[in-house]
Amino acid sequence: MKKIRLSIDGRDITVPERTTVLEAADALDIVIPTLCHRDGIEPFTSCMVCVVLETRTGKLIPACTAPTAEGMRIETDTPAVRKARRDSLDFLLS
């Protein structure tokens, strides 16, 4: 199986192809909050609490379903990420 190299919060990791950003972060002991993700259940991106910033594109992506890609650089704790998570929680609780 092909290996993917990426960086999460400045820490490099190599993971098997088809690994999600959430799984890669977990392998580095980086906690990304989730509400709808459960082990053994297919992710369906319903809560958006797990968003992270992909710095090459500047886009916020859901870590639970986003596949890792070669050279990807992820930030899990930026002002934009915190705001997006807060907005998601506000929406879910409204």
Q: Which domains does the chain have, with CATH numbers?
A: 3-93 (3.10.20.740)
Laid out side by side, the sheet with 3-8 consists of 11-16, 3-8, 73-75, 51-54, 59-62
| Alpha carbon distance 47, 20 (integer Å) | 16
Q: What's the pLDDT at 72?
A: 98
The 10s digit of each residue's pLDDT in 19-70 is 999 999 999 999 999 988 777 777 778 889 999 999 999 999 999 999 999 9
